[in-house]
Amino acid sequence: MEFNAIKKIYFIGIGGIGMSALARYFRLHGAEVYGYDRTETELTRTLVSEGMFVHYEDNVKQIPEGIDLVVWTPAVPKDHSEMNWFIERGFPLKKRAEVLGIISRAKKCVAIAGTHGKTTTSTMTAHLLRASGVDATAFVGGISGNLGSNFVEGKSDWVVVEADEYDRSFLHLSPDVAVLNSIDADHLDIYGTPQAVVEAYKQFARQIKPGGQLIYKYGLPLEDVAEELLATGRFVFTFGIEEGYYEAYNVRVVDGQTAFGLRSTIFDWNDLRLNYPGNHNILNATAAIAATLAAGGFSTELRAALAGFKGVKRRFETIVKTAETVYVDDYAHHPAELEATIQAARSLYPGKKIMGIFQPHLFTRTRDFADAFATALDKLDECILLPIYPAREQPLPGVTSEMLLNKMTLKYKSLLQKTDLLNELKTRHPEILLTMGAGDIDTFVEPIKHQLSHGK
């Protein structure tokens, strides 16, 4: 299918972060863009303001005539009437990942993969490339503070994409440069076993183009595939803190910033600065620098560009910062991400008491990692749990937030309904407050901000 010939395109799930980036791409290229999503959000309102047509009722009467292509996401339920209407009438349908794969094949591609860190690393890579002489196109999984969007079109032949492992979507990509940040078990409803997750990442690495590069976190179980790549004309580099080819060192907090050095066999830069805390962000930055150099970015620009990185919405996003209270919102929804977010807060605000509000995401994920969630949340000083956000799933017997609460050993822990949260917070005066989760906990950000800022 020739994408440039598409006049009318329809997105089922247009409000998703990856779907909306594709919608913006097609709108920019002159197509009329239509779409459905379950709920109206700030992002869907922005899409409408950019000239797209979005509705929120699953109703085939809302579908216009003359649709050339339907793009859908695996999060769409099987009984979705619009989806089935298109299938029954033989419309061309493609998954989001397929469309992204086709677009990226026409360019040189940097693909950022990993259970955690994809969005920050891909956003950072796009920013560093554009600041260092490579005007890259980018499809990223969050709203970038520097780009002001989750999509930007560049004039060079490079594109940066976030390579999503959910539903094996990233196997539609054949990158020139692939970054692999982490391989933790997740999406076991799709993969079945942790080993199947590892195998999918290995297959992704094998799809790197001839002459291309794999850049992966030191210590990941990829030695065998690294040997395969090296034997077939591709290049492999590792990165890490105090280890790896790209080695971050002397990590510390200076004047509220994260400072570190970075060296390889051909350079040694000391005192790089980043406005985001936590070892995970040092790793993200190291990977992004390595990917930028692989795609031909000028190293002379990287120091200033890194210091000017403005982050990603809902990735350790500081919402309120006063002498009494700091409030940070984060997308963390896997035990390793919770640990990283709490560690980042501890490193930036040593000695302060941290209260966390966590909304678990998906019954299957809560079931599969219940013990690890409890261990991670026990690292808080106080925890408020909200009920599980179901997303695409039906409830599972015995899998509840109360089950998590009972596994935790933390002294100060409680379970609240969403309707009671704001009233409960009126009685508290947290030093550091974290809201964490991938469900609809983000709808509390503005009300909590207002309450903390105005005392009511």
Please tell me the distance from the alpha carbon of residue 337 to that of residue 120, in angstroms, as a whole number: 12
Q: Residue 158 pairs with which residues in a beta bridge?
A: 108
DSSP 360-377: -B-HHHHHHTHHHHHHHH
pLDDT in tens, 395-453: 999 999 999 999 999 999 999 999 999 999 998 889 999 999 999 999 999 999 999 98
The predicted structure's pLDDT at residue 78 = 85
Cα-Cα-Cα-Cα dihedral sign, residues 49, 154, 27, 331: negative
Q: How many CB atoms lie within 10 A of CB 211?
A: 9
Please tell me the distance from the alpha carbon of residue 55 to that of residue 36, in angstroms, as a whole number: 5
Domain boundaries, the chain: 3-95, 107-307, 317-454
The predicted structure's pLDDT at residue 392 = 78
The CATH fold assigned to 3-95 is: Rossmann fold (3.40.50)
Q: How many CB atoms lie within 10 A of CB 369?
A: 21
Please tell me the distance from the alpha carbon of residue 123 to that of residue 127, in angstroms, as a whole number: 6
DSSP 311-343: -BTTSSEEEEE-SS-EEEEE---SHHHHHHHHH
Residues of the chain with pLDDT under 70: 1, 185, 187-189, 455-456
3-state DSSP call for residue 42?
Answer: helix
Please tell me the distance from the alpha carbon of residue 70 to that of residue 68, in angstroms, as a whole number: 7
Q: Please tell me the pTM assigned to this model.
A: 0.87
pLDDT in tens, 369-403: 999 999 999 999 999 999 999 987 899 999 999 99
What token pair was written down for 189?
Answer: 């409803």
The predicted structure's pLDDT at residue 130 = 97
* Domain 107-307 is found in CATH 3.40.605.10: no
Q: Which amino acid belongs to residue 329?
A: D
Query: Residue 249 gets which letter from DSSP?
Result: E
Please tell me the distance from the alpha carbon of residue 164 to that of residue 69, in angstroms, as a whole number: 22
**317-454: CATH superfamily:** Mur ligase, C-terminal domain (3.90.190.20)
The predicted structure's pLDDT at residue 127 = 97
3-state DSSP call for residue 304?
Answer: helix
